[in-house]
Amino acid sequence: METRGKQDEMFIISKNCKGSMRTLSAVIMKEEGMYVARCPEVGTVSQGRTVKTALKNLKEATELYLEECPLKLRKPIMATFRVGSPHAASA
């Protein structure tokens, strides 16, 4: 599943894996010309010049982190919400 937000600035990507692999999520946002990827289940963060590279780097960082610090992963609740524009109230 892949969801793209306005102007391709936010991505929520979930990859299914087989065997002993775990399914984790990545939230990727464009920040200052780079894509920053975060794994909410583990708390790892990485970056890359493209979404694909940021996701690859996050996967590697998460695997390395879990080798050193195994933990029981919890599935986060992912939700979306709307907020009004600060300028809409004054119009």
Environment class of 29 (CB within 10 Å of its CB; exposed 0-12, middle 13-18, buried 19+): middle
Q: Would you say 53 and 35 are in contact if contact means Cβ atoms under 8 Å apart? A: yes
Q: Are strands 34-38 and 45-48 parallel, antiparallel or unpaired?
A: antiparallel
* Phi and psi angles of residue 8, each rounded to the nearest 5 degrees, phi first: 55, 30
pTM of the complete model beyond 0.75? no
pLDDT band at 88; cut points 50, 70, 90: low
- Tens of pLDDT along 21-56? 778 899 999 999 999 999 999 999 999 999 999 999
